[in-house]
Structure 1
Amino acid sequence: GEASMWHEYQYFCSKGYGVVYSNPRGSGGYGQDFLRANINDWGAGPSSDVLTALDKAVAAESWADTSRLMVTGGSYAGYLVAWILGHDKRFKAACSQRGVYDLATFFGEGNAWRLVPNYFGGYPWEPATKEILQRESPISYVQNITTPYILFHGANDRRTGFVQVEMMYRSLKAMGRPVEFVRHPGATHEITRSGNNRQRIDQLLRTYEFFERYIK
């Protein structure tokens, strides 16, 4: 990968943050059983893995302040952040980049639509799959989200279409929740990896400013 592929981690560490990163079930490199362990379970199981990693890291570091926790992620991890916020209140602020929040509409607008039948066993119009997609979609728990939340999405993202972030943002705004949304013109799903450098820096600085606003 590029020499600066870990620049987000490095930046936050330079600002005094402790960064915890983990590979939850469904990640590659740990065998087929682990890779397929999130079939029909994109939310509860993987989020438990992430939060367990956090708990263990915090327990091992006496300086870690559990009253000032933040959470961020992009793409599937953006989905996972939204899921966590709908089920857990420990974080002071959160950030999702280019996430998926409604799996039924993701089937119709994303170029990775095959993930729906591959992971959930069918299509949105089939009763059994429809029930699973609703259960596994963070938007189904949006009413539980009270954590201050900033959302980023590229205007030309074809992997996770724009309806995803609009649904999350408008729902939270309608309920008067603390939420901000940044749309980067011309940006694709690759914005933080190989996108416009000005937009990459803008997103990083906005995230830091947002976290600092709520961490005090």
Structure 2
Amino acid sequence: VTPQSPGEVALVGPEGVTILTDFGRDLREVSPVTLPRELTATSPDGYPVHGWVLTPEGPGPHPVILMIHGGPHSQYTGSFFDEFQAMTGAGYAVVACNPRGSAGYGRDHGRALIGRFGDVDAADVMAFLEAALAAHPDLDRDRMGIMGGSYGGYLTAWIIGHDHRWRGAIVERGYLDPASFIGSSDIGWYYPDCYNGTTREQLEAQSAMRWAEQVTTPTLVIHAEQDLRAPMTQGLEYHARLTRAGVDTELLIFPGENHELSRSGTPWHRRQRLETILDFWSRHLA
């Protein structure tokens, strides 16, 4: 994978990497590829936060979407990512980083989030957003949205429960309540035990669900019917609690799909998902 192509064949030898193909050429001819620009921010405690900013063609100010990856031990890279390209192609700037808990920066970086969900990760993400706004004057700080899936759905829900600057939010297949994951998720009991703790107090303190009634941001909740990793009840309860709190809320459930919908779901559902996301942003960020 390169910044300009979803995937090529390369030869790795003593003199480095030689790319042998150009499968992405047809795609580039139809739709220009937005190249990511690296940025390193500083969290409030002095910790460095690395990530990328992608801006669409044309003059700003561009509406901004803060995108948060799952895992949390996953990572964004500077390679081609279809979701980033879909957002920039529709006119939105994308801000994406690898807060503490992400892969790719060593063991300590990955383990720094244990017992601290909603703490250092939220601080890192928000510090990176502020640094991106300062470094790129063509980003519109008055038109910002936030979205993420799985753990990214968790951190999105946590942030909108504490910060109300957003025009909209998308919470997808979220890990929203650690306590109710135990015995219901196919990932096993170890996940909340390892990441959040084993006592009720620890789990409650790191639950995004308990902040649902504090949300004021219009929110789209997306889930899949056969999601066994983040069971559908997580999304249903979160949507219901937002609705009862008077939040402008929408719910989209995909039948026959699981936790991998956005990556390996049926082509028509993957397209419908992206079209729904773009429609939501067009109504809230335009």
Q: Same fold (TM over 0.5)?
A: yes
User: 1:158 is matched by which residue type in structure 2?
Assistant: L
Task: Report how far residue 134 of structure 1 moved.
Answer: 0.6
4+ aligned runs moved over 6 Å, structure 1: none
Q: Deviations over 1:166-199 (max 9, x none)?
A: 1101111112210101000011100001111111
Task: Report how far residue 202 of structure 1 moved.
Answer: 0.9
Q: Does 2:243 align with 1:173?
A: yes
Task: Report how far residue 120 of structure 1 moved.
Answer: 2.6
Gaps of at least 5 residues in structure 2 are 8-79
TM-score, normalized by length of structure 2?
Answer: 0.71
- The aligned residue for residue 3 of structure 1 is 6
In 2, Cα distance between equivalents of 1:120 and 1:97: 20
- After superposition, where does 1:51-66 map in structure 2 within 5 Å? 51-66=126-141
Larger Rg: 2
Q: Deviations over 1:115-158 (max 9, x none)?
A: 11112332xxxxxx111111101111111101000011110001
Using the aligned pairs only, state the percent identity: 36
Task: Report how far residue 212 of structure 1 moved.
Answer: 1.5
- The aligned residue for residue 94 of structure 2 is 19
User: 1:118 is matched by which residue type in structure 2?
Assistant: C
Gaps of at least 5 residues in structure 1 are 123-128
Task: Report how far residue 3 of structure 1 moved.
Answer: 2.4
- The aligned residue for residue 205 of structure 1 is 275
Count of matched residue pairs:
210
In 2, Cα distance between equivalents of 1:165 and 1:18: 27
In 1, Cα distance between equivalents of 2:248 and 2:284: 11
- After superposition, where does 1:131-146 map in structure 2 within 5 Å? 131-146=201-216
- The aligned residue for residue 12 of structure 2 is none
Bigger RCO (CA 8 Å, 6+ sep): 1
- The aligned residue for residue 182 of structure 1 is 252
Structure with more of its chain in helix, by fraction: 1
Task: Report how far residue 58 of structure 1 moved.
Answer: 1.1
- The aligned residue for residue 119 of structure 1 is 195
In 2, Cα distance between equivalents of 1:167 and 1:44: 23
Kept in 1: contact 2:90–2:278 (CA 8 A): no
SS in 1 for 2:96: coil
- The aligned residue for residue 97 of structure 1 is 172
Kept in 1: contact 2:117–2:196 (CA 8 A): no
- After superposition, where does 1:21-60 map in structure 2 within 5 Å? 21-60=96-135
SS in 1 for 2:163: coil
